[in-house]
């Protein structure tokens, strides 16, 4: 039974609908929010310093050598800066493009694995609407780039196993190793996590009649392709005049520090993969229950092995973060889409009785969420006109997508996508009025201060990186607040509120004022300027002077 709209979609129509939907929800108002804080702004600053210093081999953060990550993500971001200029859109562009490439790849792979464009469409939609995937598609991190290359590697290996002749098998194996190398250029040795998935498949085939499918010697012979993406950077780094300094910093640094409980991923994976989690559970159940009839579904076995082995590896690592789950979202979406097609065909009446009410509930929740950006603008006294324009455009796109829905099962996930988009739009409006770093930068700019006139306590302060992103120039810094306050060239000094007031009280500094922003961030202006109300939120308080 085919579940279509009043006007059935062809394969080309499904692809066009999906690509248009994905582009809209990923790129719409992508620059509406200010850069995220925490580690996100550090990534943006590393890429910006590539552009400022012109050094593409040795990365820098705050003018100091940065060794936490390989350079590919930062190269892509720096390239986006060259085309689009330094700003939130350019900083998010690599992840957004990786997200788009990932969902289109899943569409095509799902279509090929299961001989159904509708299943491929559902797989892409499940991936795009999964909570963690969508959130990181519009962030300044690097995890979706890594998961894209990781997925390309394992899919290339699978297609290599199935290639009918040795030449094509060699090409697919080269693609496997090359994609693994690209993943390594994003997250270093973590890319080798493809091997625990590959090795059991190769060993399992060696003792069987179809052991020739593995061609282990050919797989080993093509392994030098792993180093092709790495060699140009490695040579540039080895010949860099600061290479010894790089090695010393690398020896001292501790990169992965996030820890979680033993059952961390048993909770994180189902919640972060929602709303497709129930369909994945159905897929696992169907495979186990009907494994005799599904014995010939080697693609399904491969996907489940990918999910199981990778989750097992993550489970036994001491460092845990829900972002590390993203490499299994691709196979999980494919299994979930297969399950949806499988049960929809076997029990169409029961399927419709479940999906119909769920679709109506989510539809009306999403319809109400179009008021969220406006409510945020009114609450925070933000730009109401902008909120109305964003909500109206998103609502029009939503109604158009729903009107041309290619299958009823997709309705829930299309609605979820726009629900997530509305939350993002509201966050962008809120950040305009509540972001303390943005408010600080606007206050500095309102007084006409150049980057060289503003000093920051702490050379690794996030406020300094945000100001560098805002100004496209790195401001000066010092670890000792006294050094900044005694510098006559500085017109403003940024530090913690208590530390700043205490230092000014001890020095008895003449003139100027202290303006406090949210969460105890403050700036001392040597000369009176515009009232802090012009600079954004953060109640100004008179300091020593």
**Residue 543, pLDDT score:** 38
| Residue that is written with structure tokens 């709209």 in the block | 5
pLDDT of 396-420, one tens digit each? 999 999 999 988 889 999 999 999 9
H-helix or E-strand spanning residue 309: helix 298-315
| pLDDT at residue 545 is higher than 60 | no
Q: How far is CA 381 from CA 30, 68, 105, 342, 437, in A?
A: 22, 40, 42, 50, 18
Report the C-alpha dihedral over residues 299, 131, 269, 254, rounded to 10 degrees.
110
Q: Which of 79-83, 236-240, 265-269, 524-528 has the lowest mean pLDDT?
A: 524-528
Average pLDDT over every residue of 280-293: 84
3-state helix, strand, coil in the chain (%, to 5): 70, 5, 25
When the pLDDT of each residue in the chain is averaged and rounded to a whole number, the result is: 87
What is the secondary structure of 431-452 as a DSSP string? Answer: HHHH-HHHHHHHHHHHTT--GG
- CA dist., res. 537 & res. 434, Å (int): 6
Burial of 85 per CB tally in 10 Å (0-12, 13-18, 19+)? exposed
The crossing angle, in degrees rounded to 10, of helices 143-162 and 72-84 is 120
Burial of 147 per CB tally in 10 Å (0-12, 13-18, 19+)? buried
Q: Which of 49-63, 270-284, 291-305 has the lowest mean pLDDT?
A: 291-305
Average pLDDT over every residue of 381-385: 84
| pLDDT at residue 323 is higher than 70 | yes
| pLDDT at residue 153 is higher than 80 | yes
pLDDT of 87-127, one tens digit each? 999 999 999 999 999 999 999 999 999 999 999 999 999 99
| pLDDT at residue 346 is higher than 50 | yes
**Residue 436, pLDDT score:** 81
Average pLDDT over every residue of 149-164: 94
- CA dist., res. 286 & res. 435, Å (int): 48
| pLDDT at residue 507 is higher than 70 | no
pLDDT of 438-489, one tens digit each? 888 888 988 899 999 999 998 888 889 999 999 999 999 999 998 898 888 8
For residue 176, which of 229, 102, 101, 107 has the smallest C-alpha distance? 229
Contact 151, 105 (CB under 8 A): yes
**Residue 407, pLDDT score:** 87
Confidence band of 317 (pLDDT split at 50, 70, 90): confident
In the chain, how long is the greatest CA-to-CA distance?
87
Q: Which of 33-42, 149-158, 165-174 has the lowest mean pLDDT?
A: 33-42
| Residue that is written with structure tokens 């989510």 in the block | 362
| pLDDT at residue 510 is higher than 90 | no
| pLDDT at residue 4 is higher than 60 | no
**Residue 1, pLDDT score:** 35
**Residue 29, pLDDT score:** 93
Structure letter (DSSP) for residue 324? G
Ranked by mean pLDDT, which of 129-133, 402-406, 540-544 comes out on top?
129-133
Handedness of CA 453, 459, 461, 467 (dihedral sign): positive
């Amino acid at each position: 039974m085919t579940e279509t709209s009043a006007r059935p979609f062809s394969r080309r129509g499904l692809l066009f609908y999906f690509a248009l939907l994905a582009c809209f929800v990923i790129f719409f108002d992508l620059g509406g929010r200010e850069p995220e804080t925490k580690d996100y702004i550090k990534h943006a600053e590393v890429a910006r310093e590539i552009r400022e210093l012109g050094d593409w081999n040795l990365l820098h953060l705050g003018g100091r050598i940065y060794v936490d990550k390989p350079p590919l993500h930062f190269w892509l971001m720096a390239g986006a800066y060259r085309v689009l200029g330094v700003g939130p859109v350019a900083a998010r562009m690599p992840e957004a493009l990786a997200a788009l490439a990932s969902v289109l790849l899943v569409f095509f792979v799902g279509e090929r694995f299961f001989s159904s464009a509708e299943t491929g469409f559902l797989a892409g939609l499940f991936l795009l609407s999964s909570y963690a995937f969508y959130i990181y598609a519009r962030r300044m991190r690097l995890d979706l780039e890594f998961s894209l290359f990781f997925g390309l590697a394992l899919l290339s290996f699978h297609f290599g196993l199935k290639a009918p002749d040795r030449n094509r098998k060699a090409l697919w194996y080269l693609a496997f190793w090359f994609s693994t190398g690209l993943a390594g250029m994003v997250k270093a040795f973590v890319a080798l996590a493809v091997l625990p998935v590959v090795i059991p498949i190769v060993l399992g085939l060696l003792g069987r009649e179809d052991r020739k499918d593995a061609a282990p010697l050919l797989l080993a012979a093509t392994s030098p392709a792993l180093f092709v993406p790495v060699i140009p950077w490695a040579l540039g780094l080895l010949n860099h005049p600061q290479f010894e300094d790089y090695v010393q910093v690398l020896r001292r640094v501790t990169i992965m520090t996030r820890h979680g409980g033993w059952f961390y991923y048993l909770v994180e994976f189902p919640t972060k993969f929602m709303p497709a989690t129930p369909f994945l559970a159905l897929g696992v159940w169907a495979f186990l229950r009907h494994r005799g009839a599904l014995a010939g579904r080697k693609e399904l076995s491969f996907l489940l092995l990918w999910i199981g082995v990778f989750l097992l590896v993550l489970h036994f690592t001491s460092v845990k973060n829900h972002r590390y789950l993203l490499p299994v979202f691709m196979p999980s979406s494919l299994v979930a889409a297969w399950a949806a097609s499988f049960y929809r065909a076997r029990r169409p009446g029961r399927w419709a009785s479940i999906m119909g009410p769920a679709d109506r509930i989510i539809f009306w929740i999403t319809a109400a969420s179009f008021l969220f950006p406006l409510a945020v603008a009114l609450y925070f006294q933000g730009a109401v006109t902008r909120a109305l324009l964003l909500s109206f455009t998103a609502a029009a796109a939503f109604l158009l997508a729903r009107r041309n829905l290619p299958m009823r099962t997709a309705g829930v996930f299309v609605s979820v996508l726009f629900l997530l988009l509305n939350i993002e739009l509201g966050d962008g409006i809120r950040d305009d009025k509540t972001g303390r770093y943005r408010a600080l930068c606007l206050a500095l700019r309102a007084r006409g201060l150049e980057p060289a006139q503003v000093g920051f306590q702490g050379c690794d302060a996030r406020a300094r990186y945000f100001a560098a992103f805002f100004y496209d120039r790195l401001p000066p810094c010092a670890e000792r607040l006294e050094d900044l306050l005694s510098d006559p060239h500085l017109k403003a000094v940024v530090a913690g509120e208590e530390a700043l007031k205490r230092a000014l009280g001890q020095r008895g500094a003449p003139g100027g004022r202290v303006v406090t922003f949210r969460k105890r961030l403050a700036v001392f202006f040597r000369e009176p300027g515009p009232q802090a109300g012009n600079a954004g939120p953060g109640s100004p308080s008179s300091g020593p002077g």
